[in-house]
Amino acid sequence: MTSLPVAELHLHLEGTLEPETIFSLAERNKITLPYADVDELRSRFEFADLQSFLDLYYANMSTLRTAADFADMTNAYLARAALAGVRHAEVFLDPQAHLVRGVALEEVMEGVSSALSTSLESHGVSTGLIVSMLRDHSAASAMSVLEDVLALGTPMLGIGLDSAEVGYPPSKFVDVYAKARAEGLHLVAHAGEEGPPEYIWEALDLLGVERIDHGIRCLEDEALVKRLVEDRVPLTVCPLSNVSLKSVDQLSDHPLRTMLRKGLNVSVNSDDPAYFGGYVDDNLNGVRDALDLNADDLATLARNSVTGSFANDARKAELLAEISVAVQTL
């Protein structure tokens, strides 16, 4: 088992809802689920592609209604992440997915931010919030949500872009990202998971992102790989997710090892761990075994996760020092 301290940079809070939690929240909120029990729900965690996952993912969000629900979800993730070795987490949240269900933005943001505000003391995990925009919704909706979140004053690191990728290029959200940049927010975006390498180029050149989430299809474009290596652009790779959503046939086929050897700035993350079979430790153990990664590879992945984060310099130095100590035990 790996035991390195890491930062997690690609994690959807709504994707941490375990089946047991979904049933517990449904009972609390008097919601009737279309599954007889936890086992039936878990049996549906087989996906043909990204969209088939998203359909179930959004359906299960219906159990999230109150600030307490969002706080409980966030705290449950932080507790499990701490066991996985996560020492810093920059987590995604999809407000639009809750607003369309009639849940007030204040409930969503209050619940998540209350848990994150005490995460270092409660779980030993420093945190930051990235508000993600649903790319299959309108740019006007994204702008409205950004403005409303800013008006609330909820602490956040930056904005992201997620959900169904193909057919929804980053270029659609140029004005939203310009607004976020003007507000001093960090910028990240999903690109190159199912979408083509061109989406990565757009995210970099049109949105001005600092980090690419996924990015595995960059290998199809040598000029893009060269750009990413030269600029040390972090790529937040999610191996078990890629296998679950059929972007990669099996873990032994995952391009992570190739990406490392080419000098790409990759880290390992869990994406939606409740649905894809594992948290960060499960992902790291899986790629270590399937791709025959050595101790140096694992240390590189851990260090990349920290240097690719938006933590302040002091926190980065602290975590890098922890990694240097932990490496001696690998």
Residues annotated as part of the active site: 193
Spatial distance between the Cα atoms of 125 and 82, rounded to a whole number of angstroms: 7
Q: Do residues 305 and 319 make contact, with C-beta atoms less than 8 angstroms apart?
A: no
Q: E strands of the chain, at which residues? A: 6-8, 86-93, 126-134, 158-162, 186-191, 211-214, 234-237, 265-268
CA 185 – CA 179 distance, rounded (Å): 9
Cα dihedral 57, 62, 66, 69, rounded to 10, equals: -50
The whole-angstrom distance between residue 1's C-alpha and the CA centroid of its chain comes to: 23
CA distance 38 to 43: 9
Distance of CA 106 to the CA centre of its chain: 22
Closest C-alpha to 128, from 323, 312, 322, 317: 312
